[in-house]
Structure 1
Amino acid sequence: MPNYSANHILVIFAISSTAACSNPDGSTGRVGSPYWFNSTTPEMRYEYFSKICKDYGFEAGTTEMSQCVQQETVAARDNSNQKAQISGAAYANTYSAVTSN
């Protein structure tokens, strides 16, 4: 068995961890997360949310479909940002509690 240094193992771990975070469409992050919104193109987001709107019964190419996609995108982004703020506040509270002792 080859003798791997700690640096080799760290590099292998980093590469495999990064690859595991990718979605099939090439985006990264959990779908709907702030990271996902930042790693996707508008076309990728439209495709994702148009599938949801199609399940609601909207037809492709209609004004109603476009409105649905826009509403779903805004709602998902708002929800994602709200969750990120709550998580950040919880982390800050935990960190300050730990460091104040």
Structure 2
Amino acid sequence: MAPVSLRSLWDMVCHKDFYSTLALVLLGLGGLVGNYIFGYLQDSIGRRPSFFIYLFIECFFGIATAFAQDFLTWTAFRIGVGFTVPAILGTPYVLGLTITKG
């Protein structure tokens, strides 16, 4: 039996071959929206508490992505992951700068 890929399982061929690119674009757009929301959250409650909030959100959506049964659900979960990615990448850097400066 040949291995089954998600591309063939979810029928993302021929006229639906752009779906994987669309999911990647939506992940990036989620990051743009998340930047503004989490920037506000960092300014209101602090960087360290907000870091753990969006770390939890990213873990939840990342694990949920593994259990998605169809493309639409998988894409929604990937948008949730993309929502937190810029904040996850930027906050430790800023926290490290504030710790070293004292």
TM-score for the superposition, normalised by structure 1: 0.32
Higher-helix-fraction structure: 2
Structure of higher RCO (CA pairs closer than 8 Å, 6+ residues apart): 2
TM-score for the superposition, normalised by structure 2: 0.32
Larger Rg: 1
